[in-house]
A and B are shown apart, each in its own frame.
Chain A
Amino acid sequence: MRVVYATYPRSGNSLMRKYFENVTGTATGSDQVIKHSPNLALQFCGFKAEGITDSRTWINKTHFPFTLPF
C-alpha cells in the first residue's frame, strides 16, 4: 500500500514528513524535481528520498496538481 501525502505548498509538509520519518523509521519520498534549489535543500536537510516515488518509499509528498500561478 502506498500513501500520497498531498499538501498545498507551504502548509507544513516538511514538518509532517519529519514526523512520518521519525515514527516509521523510513524515508519519505516526493515527486519534486531535485534540480531546483529548495528541493535539493530538503535532501541536504535530511530527506534522503527527495525526488523518489517508487517502491523504495511508503509515504510520498506531492503538491500535485499545483503549478506556479504565472
Chain B
Amino acid sequence: MCTRFQLDADPSFFYLTYCLCHSGSFKAKLTEDPILPYWQNWQRLCTLAYKQWFEHWLHIAETTDKPVYFFRFEDILSQPEEELKNLFKFILGMEDIEGTVIERRIQDVMNMGSKKNQVYKPRQGGTNRNLANYSPQQIEFTKNYNEDLFHIFGYIKDD
C-alpha cells in the first residue's frame, strides 16, 4: 500500500476530477475566485475521505492474516532502487534478492532514464510544493483531522 502526504495529493486530485485528465490544470489559482469555493469544499471532503481510506487499510493490516506492506510515494521518488528492492523482497517473500534476476532487472530499469517511470507528462506539483494552494485554516483543519495518520506514515515529526 502506497501513501502520499495529503496536502500534495489533494490539488492533483482536484484537477483530475474537474479537468478529467491526468495532466491538465486551470489558469486560475485554487486560492482565487471562481475556483476557490469549489476547491475549499472539495478539499474538506477529501480530508474526511483520506482518513476513511487509510483507516480501512490499517484495519486490514491489523486484523487479518493478509500481509500488507506500507511504503511512501515520497521515498519512491527519492530512492527508487532501494524502495523497489524492499518491495520485491516482500512480494517474493525473500529476505535478500542479491544476485537474483529481479535485482538485475531493477538495476536495468534504473538505467532507462525517464522511460523507467513516466507514463504521461506529470502536472506541476511534487513533494511539499503545494502549500501555497491552501489557506492557513485549511492546513490547520487537515493536520488536526488526520494528525494520527501523518504521524504513522512519518509526514509529521513526533515530538
Interface residues of A (CB under 8 A from B): 3, 5-19, 22-25, 37-38, 41-42, 45-47, 59, 63, 65-70
Known: A38-B16, A65-B56, A66-B53. A8 touches B9 (CB 8 A): yes
25 pairs from A and B in contact (CB 8 Å cutoff): A3-B91, A7-B2, A8-B50, A8-B53, A9-B16, A11-B2, A11-B4, A12-B2, A12-B4, A12-B73, A15-B119, A16-B2, A18-B116, A18-B119, A19-B76, A19-B117, A22-B116, A24-B105, A41-B21, A42-B22, A65-B53, A65-B56, A66-B49, A67-B49, A68-B17
In the complex the two chains form, is A10's CB within 8 Å of B16's CB? yes
Known: A18-B118, A41-B120. A10 touches B21 (CB 8 A): no
Within the assembled complex, what's the spacing in Å between the Cα atoms of A9 and B117? Answer: 17
- What are the residues of chain A within 8 A of B139 when measuring CB–CB? none
In the complex the two chains form, is B2's CB within 8 Å of A42's CB? no
- What are the residues of chain A within 8 A of B45 when measuring CB–CB? 69-70
A59 (CB) vs chain B CBs: closest residue: B91
- What are the residues of chain B within 8 A of A59 when measuring CB–CB? 91
**Chain B interface, number of residues (Cβ within 8 angstroms):** 43
Known: A8-B53, A12-B76, A41-B22. A69 touches B42 (CB 8 A): yes
- What are the residues of chain A within 8 A of B77 when measuring CB–CB? 12
